[in-house]
Amino acid sequence: MSKATASLPRTIGAHAILLTYTIIALFPVFVVVINSFKSRQAIFQQPLTPPTPKTFDLIGYTTVFGQGDFFLYFQNSMIVTVVSLFFVLLFGAMAAFALSEYRFRGNTLMGLYLALGIMIPIRLGTVAILQLMVASGLVNTLTALILVYTAQGLPLAIFILSEFMKGVSDDLKNAGRIDGLSEYTIFFRLVLPLVRPAMATVAVFTMIPIWNDLWFPLILAPSEATKTVTLGAQIFLGQFVTNWNAILAALSLAILPVLVLYLIFSRQLIRGITSGAVK
């Protein structure tokens, strides 16, 4: 921050507000993580205290790793998230480029149609989607989930990316055309690097709902071989007894991969923003 805009009370005030918000936002995560390291009794007696040597217990984690195929569930979640993300970004960016770059009949209408999905929740179509998957024999496959999540992520991706792509200099694309670059090269080599911050934003917005989703895994792919982490954690959630240690441990573990992905994308995001600022 520059000297001219930084007065001490203001700085303290701003930090106080931001810190308060951070604490409130992170509190549930914090509680989940600390309790995952405690014995069952301690979870219920002192849910807000961090584990002490007396209450420290890894029973949750041992249950999770002992029980069934948690590694498989993680792998499934990872595959579904990363592959869907890849398709959303690829197809979203390509559609956005076509919509923002080429003038063709029905361009605006097509844009509106593709953006409609932002307003209509895909879950309304669950029954039809299930019928479709049954008919095409895709039930209990990861492909079913990837297809659904790709469809779910595309509208927002196209909407955000086409706005950003309109901002990419026409001259640059035209310079590429005069130098004999194909439209694909112009798209992949000139335009995509320039909208990288937008891609990172879209990636973050797309990834988290997919990773957290319980609905479609439960309906489309509940088999043992295709369970995702969120679905896998449900086995500890019984009608009469709930294994809280295991649930909390599973949830704590589930945070890690998505945190790593987020860090990767947010670094892109920040780099993109600062590179624009000092240009």
Half-sphere exposure of 64 (CA within 13 A, CB side): 27
Q: Report 81-100 residues binding another protein (CB under 8 A).
A: none
* 194 sits near another protein (criterion: CB under 8 A): yes
Q: Which of 11, 22, 169, 242 binds another protein (CB under 8 A)?
A: 169
- Judged by beta carbon, residue 95 or residue 186, the one nearer another protein is 186
Strand ranges, E, within the chain: none
Q: Do residues 147 and 138 make contact, with C-beta atoms less than 8 angstroms apart? A: yes
Q: Which residue has the tokens 């679905």?
A: 231
CB count in 10 Å sphere of residue 188: 15
* 135 sits near another protein (criterion: CB under 8 A): no
Q: Which of 28, 53, 66, 180 binds another protein (CB under 8 A)?
A: 180
Q: CA dist 105 to 5, 146, 236, Å?
A: 50, 31, 54
Helices (H), 54-141: 59-66, 70-101, 107-119, 126-135
- Judged by beta carbon, residue 171 or residue 241, the one nearer another protein is 171
* 179 sits near another protein (criterion: CB under 8 A): yes
* 176 sits near another protein (criterion: CB under 8 A): yes
Task: Please state, in angstroms and rounded to a whole number, the distance separating the CA atoms of residues 185 and 215.
Answer: 39
Collect all residues with Cβ–Cβ distance below 8 Å to 55 and sequence separation of at least 6: 38, 39, 41, 42, 46, 49
* 131 sits near another protein (criterion: CB under 8 A): no
Classified as helix, coil or strand, 47 is: coil
Q: How far is the CB of 277 from another protein (least distance, A)?
A: 12
- Judged by beta carbon, residue 47 or residue 193, the one nearer another protein is 193
Q: How far is the CB of 81 from another protein (least distance, A)?
A: 29
* 178 sits near another protein (criterion: CB under 8 A): yes
* 127 sits near another protein (criterion: CB under 8 A): no
* 14 sits near another protein (criterion: CB under 8 A): no
Q: How far is the CB of 203 from another protein (least distance, A)?
A: 20
Task: Please state, in angstroms and rounded to a whole number, the distance separating the CA atoms of residues 67 and 106.
Answer: 54
Stretch of 19-27, 134-142, 144-152, 165-173 lying at the interface with another protein (CB under 8 A): 165-173
Positions that interact with another protein (CB under 8 A): 169, 171-172, 174-181, 189-190, 193-194, 279
